[in-house]
Structure 1
Amino acid sequence: MHSPDRLAQASGQILWQRNLLRSLFDTAVAAADPLKAVPAALPPRPSGRVVVIGAGKASARMAEAVEKVWGPCEGLVLTRDGYSRELRGIEVVCASHPVPDSRGLAGTRRLVDLLQGCGENDLVIALISGGGSSLLSWPAGDITLQEEQAMTQALLASGAPISQMNTLRKHLSRVKGGGLAAAAWPSPMLSLIISDVPGDDPAMIASGPTIPDGTSQKEAKEIADRWSIPLPPSMEAVLSGSRITWPDTAREMSRAESRIIAAPALSLEAARKQAIRQGIAVKVLGDAIEGEAREVAAAHARLALEEQAALAPGETLLLLSGGECTVTHQGTGTGGPNAEYCLALADALDGAPGISAIACDTDGVDGAAEVAGALFDETTCSRARAQGLSIRTALAANDSHSFFAALSDQVITGPTLTNVNDFRAILLHKVD
């Protein structure tokens, strides 16, 4: 516990830390703005027909960038509610995220119809970003939309890493795992991709709708078993029989090219450079960190205390990391991986002086809530106790958003129009 005098003396330093952390997050988001990333990746506009398609939280902003360079274009993109843009030629269809809905299903069918009308002299530009897994919804076989929704909800609550979630999704879909590229044959396709997955594997981003799938039905079934995902008979039939999707052959992928144009590492680098310009030393822990949010937080708390102990009085150090944490939902509260990470970090540090942190999703949505994440500082625990709040109770209920809302420590951005996964920063200051 800190005395009132200590907290009063530290208030100026704490405010500076919080403002710096928020500005670093804003810098990371700005570095992934499609209006910056897309133009540099576009070839000269061909003289023939161009069709622009896309899916993901950033797809409408990416389409806006295409039209800014090329002018009005033909096409259709699927994006999340609230992430639409006013475009001159490309149609924007909004649908539900993270659980698919009938609008996504109808929009996906229209998108495929558009692709199947393309010819070998046309060019398809595919704009792919995180969130496309739910927005592109066309279940395989006899799977119903309601069954896909239930499976998605079970996956989201399971704590499974995104790579395994998307492997299962691919095998239960007509359009994921290369399905869109195959549907566009014989038209050449250029995919511009914003990565939101650890390791930046394009086959996993939005479940790889324009990338050949290298996973097996056996792997998909093992993932469902490992994470206790209930599969109805329709899904069991798809995973046990011949894969029901668009033809996925070497011929149909031979005219498909892909480029990753924005990724977590690039956003972390932008934040690192900003901190260095302000005279702060930086250690980047990695851009592909995965795991249960509270377990990652516990490890980072131990590291933060070790690094702070090695500082000289008055020195400051910033620890940056990215990736995608998960939460195994066992409570009934409202939360997300980033807010739960902050909550567990605050619990582990218990008001240690000179340490503050931010954890946010760069798309502005942490879990299913319209909240990017949270901030905490050395006063978080004492302020919570003063309000009768228990960190342990909030953790047990997976209720991190409610906890930080009560302290006015949520980070709320609204739609950021991009998505390069989680951003985490821990600021260490050695108190004199």
Structure 2
Amino acid sequence: MSAQPNEVLQAMFQAAVAAASPARCVPPHLPAPPKGRTVVVGAGKAAAAMAKAVEDHWSGPLSGLVVTRYGHAVPTRCIEVVEAGHPVPDAAGEEAARRILALAGELGPEDLLLCLISGGGSSLLALPAPGISIADKQAVARALLRSGASIDEMNCVRKQLSAIKGGRLAAATRAPVLSLIISDVPGDDPSVIASGPTVPDRTTASDALGILETYRIDPPAAVVRHLTAMRESAVRSDRRAVEAKTILIATPQMALEHAAEVASAAGYAPLILGNAIEGEASQTALVHAGIARQVVEHGQPVTAPCVLLSGGETTVTVRGHGRGGRNAEFLLALAVALDGMPGVHALAGDTDGIDGTEDNAGALLAPDTLVRAAGLGIDAKARLADNDGYGFFQALGDLVVTGPTLTNVNDFRAILIGGGAPRFSGKS
């Protein structure tokens, strides 16, 4: 059957999300039950769905607690699910993290601490280090989110202000630790995903202070005191974190490969540009636009019909007053750069279903996007300067709204280049 470009784009996005579904990727990695207790703990946007997948495929008794973002819970039988604030932490996340740390401390050598980790866990495991309040962490989180700092930089600061992240969860238990991790970070570094609660921390308080200085963030006094004291103290031992076992069960690369299969079936040659692309969303869009233009005008580095695929996590330094979203900003900048180039369609979306803090996963771009916007009296360049990609695509009816997907392998970008009605089987 034939399909329109937007249908193919959305089928690729759905395939990328499905590749990281906890029901699909958790069961193959579950261990045999231990002699003693199995306690499941976890944090992230996929934590509740991961907990359900464990329950559905576990042969012995289970208990535990996971924390996920508001609106991301699913019914479970024996693992408690708590919802908390993201991307800014709140008191619910603080209390959940405190209880998770206590559960870990109850276990012995014959037990198992099964940790379910996914993107978003940094905000959701919100247990401040001694001397720091949740209000202090909230202030730093808000400033970092607006600064343009990379996810590695943000999570460095988060770890240094935490009593549970940066390997401290693993250090709190005598039981063997197994972490099943869905990666949402460029490079798939387990110490960065959810700020590595069971993974040794290679960052330092000096690193965190340098990041705050680089982005001109003036943190609360308690944060400065804590980081200064940490910088002057001895290096923390994390032997238990070193001994913990970690398995990456879903990654951005896996998601892109599943999307590429859909593209091939639809008659488009897939070209994966990278799974770990970072940088300002608007600047990343300029690079993607340059590659798309090279394909259209010179048939390089691949000939049309084709699709350019990429993943990773861009950032947005907020200077305007718009409703933002890094994927919407990427697409708006791409639209401006392509200036209505014929035959080029695109989709950018966050695989968790939430682009920034709004209700959309992302948006769609077509060759006539700028023309339709102009017809509504909308200035694309002005909206881009105001960081209002969401408002721009909302006005056109081109937002992609999926609701929470209950997983997260970060951003998905696809630029479809070609002519005519492609083949499309609808299979992924």
TM range (shorter): over 0.9
Tell me, yes or no, if the aligned pair for 1:35 and 1:65 is still in contact at 8 Å.
yes
CA–CA distance in 2 between the matches of 1:369 and 1:244? 41
Establish whether residue 161 from structure 1 lines up as the match of residue 161 from structure 2: no
Q: CA deviation at 1:144?
A: 1.2
Which residue of 333, 336, 350 maps to 2:322?
333
List, as ranges, runs of 4+ consecutive aligned residues in structure 1 with deviation greater than 6 Å: none
Paired position in structure 2 for 1:121 = 110
CA contact (8 A) 1:169 1:207 kept: yes
Following superposition of structure 1 onto structure 2, how do residues 374-413 of structure 1 map, counting pairs within 5 Å?
374-413=363-402
> Which residue, 188, 195, 199 being the options, matches 2:183?
195
Q: How many residues align?
A: 416
Instruction: Give the aligned residue type for 2:45.
Output: K
Matches within 5 A, 1:2-81: 16-70=4-58, 73-81=62-70
Q: Which runs of 5+ in 1 are unaligned?
A: 1-12
Q: 1:204 aligns with which of 192, 202, 225?
A: 192
Q: Counterpart of 1:281?
A: 269
Match of residue 110 from structure 1? 99
Match of 2:124 in 1: 135
**Equivalent pair of 1:78/1:136 in contact (CA under 8 Å):** yes
CA shift for structure 1 position 249:
2.4
Superposed, which structure 2 residues align to 1:305-320 within 5 Å? 305-311=293-299, 315-320=304-309
Instruction: Report the 3-state secondary structure (helix = DSSP H, G, I; strand = E; otherwise coil) of the residue aligned with 1:26.
Output: helix
TM-score by length of 1: 0.93
Paired with 1:161 and 1:89, the residues of 2 have a C-alpha distance of 37
What SS does structure 2 have at the residue aligned with 1:415? coil
Q: In the alignment, which residue of structure 2 is the partner of 1:89?
A: 78
Q: Secondary structure at the match of 2:11?
A: helix
Task: Give 1:222-233 correspondences, 5 Å limit.
Answer: 222-233=210-221
Deviation of 1:238 after TM superposition, in Å, equals: 1.2
Query: How many angstroms does 1:243 deviate by?
Result: 6.9
Q: What TM-score do you get using the length of structure 2 for normalisation?
A: 0.94
Could you tell me which amino acid in structure 1 is paired with residue 105 of structure 2?
Answer: Q
Residue 329 of structure 1: how far off its partner (Å): 0.4
Give the partner amino acid of 1:46.
Answer: P
Aligned amino acid, residue 256 of structure 1: A
Of 245, 249, 256, which aligns to 2:237?
249
Structure 1 position 275, deviation (Å): 1.1
Aligned-partner SS, 1:70: coil
Question: Partner residue of 1:9?
Answer: none
The CA distance in 1 between the partners of 2:407 and 2:240, in whole Å, is 30
Counterpart-to-counterpart distance in 2, 1:134 and 1:18: 34
The one-letter code matched in structure 2 to 1:147 is D
Contact kept, 8 Å, 2:11 with 2:262, in 1: the verdict is no
Q: Percent identity?
A: 50
* Cα displacement (A) at 1:280: 1.4
Whole-angstrom CA distance in 1 between matches of 2:68 and 2:110: 28
Aligned residues of 1:353 and 1:431 also touching (Cα < 8 A)? no
Q: 1:5 matched to which residue of 2? A: none
Between the aligned partners of 2:208 and 2:63, the Cα distance in structure 1 is 36
The answer to whether structure 1 residue 174 and structure 2 residue 155 are counterparts is no
**Offset of 1:48 from its aligned partner?**
2.1
Within 2, Cα distance between the matches of 1:77 and 1:419? Answer: 16
